[in-house]
Amino acid sequence: MREIFCFCFNHRAGEEHIRLLYDSVKNAITNDYDSVYSIELYADTKECDYVLDYAEKHAISYRLIKRMEFTKKEIREARYFHLYMLSNVLELEGTDTKDYGTAYKGGCELCGLGSEQAADVLVDWKFMKNKKIGQVTPEYFVSGEVRKFIEESGFTGVEFRHKIVDYKGRDMDEFFTLDAANVLSAVSSPTLIRRDECDVRFTRCEHKVLFLDSNLYYDKYAFKNAKDFNLTNEYFNNDRMRQLVVSAKVKKAMSKKRLNVHFSPILINGENYES
């Protein structure tokens, strides 16, 4: 296991400084893409220390994202995984199922956080074509085929409470919401969470956007009553959705199905990391 720091610089930091930083550490960069404004380095290298020192000396601000690079053995031995997938399949960033008329109940009266769908989820069928699993914000969805696979696999902690249908009543393939009911306790340190204080959409309540800028870390007790499908306690990122945390059994089965999803091991204190 080895930690990687991703330094995300703003263009306002000054191209002269950023270019100098990039040229100084470029031979150690782990990015698989070329960008002077996004530099990834192993955290235990002298090049990473150089960037940290240079940015502090010249008062250069940046967003820091941390992620772990795991060995194949560490991935095989992990008990739980963060399951993440293609984000919103709707046509515009910021478009969600409410925009098509889906009815919700409960949640924050000011921003709607934590509300639950009250009936079928309405979407435009065109954006669901050839999809099997993903997000229709603020829901996760699966096709009828994937639902059958999950049910036949006997996974715990998952339901399919609502159908997803076309908002104009047009015919479309079968889709269902993927609903995990078991909510884990709060993530533990050193999970890196960035609270967005500038998003004007949520100035009337305390439910700010929380960006997940690292792997998910938990204390061991958080999984005492865990299921195969679980949710984070926190709502993360621009779409403000609880993240899916699944067992190694789910990861193994879904990987064999070659679904368009990704898995990252959950770091559990006392098991695969020491706080």
| Tens digits of residue pLDDT in 17-42 | 888 888 999 899 988 766 778 899 99
- Model confidence at 186: pLDDT above 60: yes
The Cα-based distances of 264 to 100, 187, 219, 224 in angstroms read 32, 15, 17, 20
Ramachandran area for residue 101 (φ above 0: left; ψ -120 to 50: alpha; else beta): left
pLDDT value for 202: 67
Domain boundaries, the chain: 2-69, 76-84+182-268, 88-180
To which H or E segment does residue 140 belong? Answer: strand 139-143
Q: 206 pLDDT band (50/70/90 cuts)?
A: confident
pLDDT value for 24: 92
The Cα-based distances of 173 to 8, 124, 128, 259 in angstroms read 40, 12, 8, 17
- Model confidence at 169: pLDDT above 90: yes
The closest alpha carbon to 141, from 114, 113, 175, belongs to 175
Count each helix (H run) and each strand (E run) in the chain, helices first.
5, 20
- Model confidence at 174: pLDDT above 60: yes
- Model confidence at 104: pLDDT above 90: no
Please tell me the distance from the alpha carbon of residue 242 to that of residue 219, in angstroms, as a whole number: 18
Which CATH architecture group holds 2-69?
2-Layer Sandwich (3.30)
